[in-house]
């Protein structure tokens, strides 16, 4: 998901998206550790997805403070 798409989500939807992305990343890490992961580039994509969503959440947090 693009950052602009994430900015369009509500706060609850963004929180759910972060939880889902973290769960997916955990699954990929587990598959990688057990040797079942064929496409290791999906790990990088999943990490970036979590980081992107957390960045948008932090931006909202900073906007709320000011």
What are the structural domain ranges in the chain? 3-65
Tokens of 41: 């580039």
Confidence (pTM): 0.90
Residue 29 burial class via C-beta count within 10 angstroms: exposed 0-12, middle 13-18, buried 19 and up: middle
Measure the CA–CA gap between 13 and 18, rounded to whole angstroms.
Answer: 9
pLDDT of residue 52: 97
CATH of 3-65, one of 2.40.128.640, 3.20.20.70, 1.10.287.310, 3.40.50.180: 1.10.287.310
Would you say 31 and 47 are in contact if contact means Cβ atoms under 8 Å apart?
A: no
pLDDT tens, N- to C-terminus, the chain (66 residues): 899 999 999 999 999 999 999 999 999 999 999 999 999 999 999 999 999 999 999 999 999 998
Tokens of 25: 């990343």
């Amino acid at each position: 998901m693009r950052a602009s798409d994430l900015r369009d989500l509500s706060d609850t939807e963004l929180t759910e998206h972060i939880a889902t992305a973290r769960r997916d990343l955990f699954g990929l890490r587990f598959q990688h550790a057990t040797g079942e992961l064929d496409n290791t580039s999906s790990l990088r994509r999943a990490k970036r997805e979590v980081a992107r969503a957390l960045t948008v959440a932090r931006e909202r947090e900073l906007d709320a403070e000011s």
